[in-house]
Structure 1
């Protein structure tokens, strides 16, 4: 299905208002509605059960099914226990979205860790600061908290002890390893995320295990996370459609004559106001505008011109699940530059080729080759050596999850996989049409094709 810029603009605006989605021809894929329609003052939110304070969507998470799948793979691979410090793997295995696990500058494993035995309940080790929320936002998880510099007064003599402002960064690892050792037999097999452990943490673990080898369990986690449960698909759909709403709103509001310093504020206001389910915790995105295609963090002091190419890429994190789509448009929707049109059209041709091929049983490397060959038919992008044409999407913080749709990726698309497919092109000075370009949508693979969560426009002039 192709939408004109007018049809897309009307459809997206109506979707943002919760009215309708554009009609879809039979056999084509389009986004489904979210689990909740309208903002929190428009739908009924029942109080959580006693002892819980979690979001109503988090309460629907299939915790036991996820853990059962993970433990089944552990049994097959001979693991007795996993010691996890990767934020997304902690979230996936326990259901807890730890603030300190995701905090910038906090070494992985210094504040939060999970211990997953091949049988029995998951264990979670958190800082004292997260001791209250962790048990209220998970089920069937054992907890342990480690000392912190914060003063949490629970009336006990222990809570009134003096606090050291400088903490042992290995406290969490020590506590997690102690739990893990309870599940290790004489010839036990313990799994760690080899690429995540700091040298000092690894040295400590190896010293305590007295020769028991450490085995990388990254493949176990990858396999377990690859095929999404229906609830996970729902969350990724929700996150993608939220991103589409706030990007469309920002595109309509960005006008010639504005200073690009206000672009970020516009995006962030739109993102928070379009969060109908009140499920977004963080927002991550990149922007480009006019001749500035880079992704520096500081706002740009630049007066936006009519005809500038603008781009937003990324999205919000909803209960730990991330969105990653992109929208590109011409500010003002007028003063067409033919090179800009040709560039976008070349990228969309590649994207459309990907839509034709995307299906279960297709190898990722074959999809990559087809998209690239289609783009390279154009005169404006005759060489398109992009590293990948999309990637898995899952739990944060990694927007570009594995596997990647790349030239050597043998992975075959399977029902239940969630991906973002994209045709991205950063055109610097010297290219036919300098500026930031990206066409990106999110999908879930189905038994006979795919469901498309979002609908990228087929024209660069859609925001009018």
Structure 2
């Protein structure tokens, strides 16, 4: 565990979940939904606190129904009932899954069908950055026989989840600090001549030792003066004099992600790479300063883009300059022209300017922030203005 960090209490109180549901139901009323049908692990965890490594098995579907009034209802395989009973949930309905001819479908249909019908509409995970964790054929059967229309509930769900509670922000801050400390220590653990996989292995172990639960995302890539992409790797490439080493991490604590990168100079790098690194450091400062309540994601993009363009960017294959963060590595909104999301207090965002300054040579910065009434609060430890050196 990282020295000096205060470990947040794992899990959340029943009162926390009651407040989440009450706020969700207010938003559901505005969207005109009698209930939300949830199947994906992050959405189920958000409303129930339930988590399991068994999500890795695709055999059984799991459902949570959030009604317009009253408490959520879990409709789950029997195998999950003992653990679900340890959460704040009290209405837990089960079937002896797997039963391929009726894997919870009739139980789910009767559960939703018994709810009061005000709008005649059920919201489901059908849209932006959402996915159904049930067979599509069964979803279509439910839709055709339910009696209420099933429609895209993702705008409603994201409106609920984009604004974090204080306890959620504490969780994200904790994992951000763990990863920040490990990033700072990395130059003392690796040297020129090692390869990308060895660097990632050492960083992953250090992050776990400091208290992270998992690190499902850690791409790394190196190249002379910059890198061609930031989502793949590591590879067996040896770190050589003049390289930039890029490492990104999505590590978790109690289900919540950090998502930020660091860049390292391998020995002495070219002055041009240092100039671009400086420009991106300043663009990050501008993005952080622009992320205030009432601004839009377009405004944050423009603040960073102005500096990047002045620095001579020839491209940026990332497609945006940051995004939301929480129970998923990436969440809405996106910092890009046309997104138009209004930034409000208690959003958690990444600030991620990047630029390709020569063919195949890109550098990207990233920090994580929470939006407060007074502006952005840094959740990560700010990247050094000068490139850290690995010798």
Q: TM-score, normalised by structure 2?
A: 0.88
Q: Which residue of 2 aligns with 1:202?
A: 139
User: Does 2:324 align with 1:369?
Assistant: no
Does the CA contact (< 8 Å) of 1:79 and 1:190 recur in 2? Answer: yes
Does the CA contact (< 8 Å) of 1:240 and 1:315 recur in 2? Answer: no
Could you list the runs of 5+ residues in structure 1 that have no partner in the other structure?
1-15, 20-32, 37-55, 150-166
Q: 1:201 to 1:442 in 2, by over 3 A?
A: same
Does 232-241 or 125-134 show the bigger shift? Answer: 125-134
Q: 1:208 to 1:251 in 2, by over 3 A?
A: farther
Does the CA contact (< 8 Å) of 2:247 and 2:263 recur in 1? Answer: yes
Q: d(CA) in 2 for partners of 1:409 and 1:270?
A: 37
Q: d(CA) in 1 for partners of 2:185 and 2:151?
A: 48
Does the CA contact (< 8 Å) of 1:241 and 1:453 recur in 2? Answer: yes
Q: Which residue of 1 aligns with 2:320?
A: 388
Q: Which residue of 1 aligns with 2:91?
A: 142
Equivalent of 1:130 in 80, 83, 87: 80
Does the CA contact (< 8 Å) of 1:248 and 1:463 recur in 2? Answer: no
Cα distance per residue 1:401-456 (max 9 Å; x no partner): 101111112222211111111113467xx53xx55522111111111112111112
Q: Which residue of 1 aligns with 2:291?
A: 358
Equivalent of 2:377 in 432, 435, 451: 451
- Which structure's relative contact order is higher, taking Cα pairs within 8 Å and 6+ residues apart? 1
Tell me, what secondary structure is at the counterpart of 2:30? helix
Q: Which residue of 2 aligns with 1:58?
A: 11
Q: Which residue of 1 aligns with 2:202?
A: 266
Aligned length: 382
Structure 1 residue 93: Cα displacement: 1.7
Equivalent of 1:185 in 84, 105, 117: 117
Q: 1:462 to 1:123 in 2, by over 3 A?
A: farther
Tell me, what secondary structure is at the counterpart of 2:172? helix
Q: d(CA) in 2 for partners of 1:387 and 1:303?
A: 29
In our comparison, the structure showing a higher alpha carbon Rg is 1
RMSD, aligned CA: 2.7
Equivalent of 2:366 in 437, 440, 449: 440
Q: d(CA) in 2 for partners of 1:70 and 1:302?
A: 48
Structure 1 residue 65: Cα displacement: 0.8
Cα distance per residue 1:141-192 (max 9 Å; x no partner): 422333246xxxxxxxxxxxxxxxxx51861444333311111438632222
Equivalent of 1:323 in 258, 277, 291: 258
Q: d(CA) in 2 for partners of 1:179 and 1:436?
A: 52
Matches within 5 A, 1:242-257: 242-257=178-193
Matches within 5 A, 1:23-102: 34-36=6-8, 56-60=9-13, 62-101=16-55
